Amino acid sequence: MKKIILLCLMLGGCATIMDGTTEKIEVVTSPQGASCSFIRAGKVIGSVVTPGSLTIDKTKDELDIYCVKKGYKPGTVTEKSGTDKATYGNIAIGGLIGGIVDSASGADDYYDTPVNVILERK
């Protein structure tokens, strides 16, 4: 742990070093077996069949998860990007430069997971 803190102090970007710039988002639907598309900034960035997961780049943009299954109404959940906890430690220990590094790389962002989508019968 001391080595990680020292590395953060020297290079800045604790969240970048500790948590990376990607995140695995799990999606669970009720009922299972729905096809879910991950949409960010109006573009589909991937899709899964539930239960499933997709590794995505972290950003500050909202993430829409749109799910469909035959016999059910479509369901959508919007995930807002939050601030990764490692960023606060980085700012406290490493100062502004580390915070800027984390923000530029997207490492200071995260989405809640798992995402639960309930589909209603038609």
pLDDT at position 34, please?
98
Residue 96: both structure tokens together = 């502004």
Q: How many domains does the chain have?
A: 1
pLDDT at position 20, please?
73
Q: How many whole angstroms separate alpha carbon 62 and alpha carbon 39?
A: 9
pLDDT at position 19, please?
58
Residue 53: both structure tokens together = 């997961």
98 pLDDT band (50/70/90 cuts)? Answer: low
Cβ distance 35 to 69 under 8 Å? yes
pLDDT for 28 beyond 80? yes
pLDDT for 109 beyond 60? yes
Encode burial over 19-43: b for 16+ CB neighbours within 10 A, e otherwise.
bebebebebbbeeeebebbbbbeee
pLDDT at position 12, please?
43
User: Domain of 71?
Assistant: 2-118
pLDDT for 4 beyond 50? no
Which of 49-53, 84-88, 108-112 is predicted most confidently?
49-53
State the CATH number of the domain containing residue 94. 2.60.40
Q: How many whole angstroms separate alpha carbon 109 and alpha carbon 32?
A: 28
Q: How many whole angstroms separate alpha carbon 101 and alpha carbon 77?
A: 30
Average pLDDT, integer, range 37-46: 97
Encode burial over 51-79: b for 16+ CB neighbours within 10 A, e otherwise.
ebebebebbeeebbbbbebeebeebebeb
pLDDT for 101 beyond 90? no
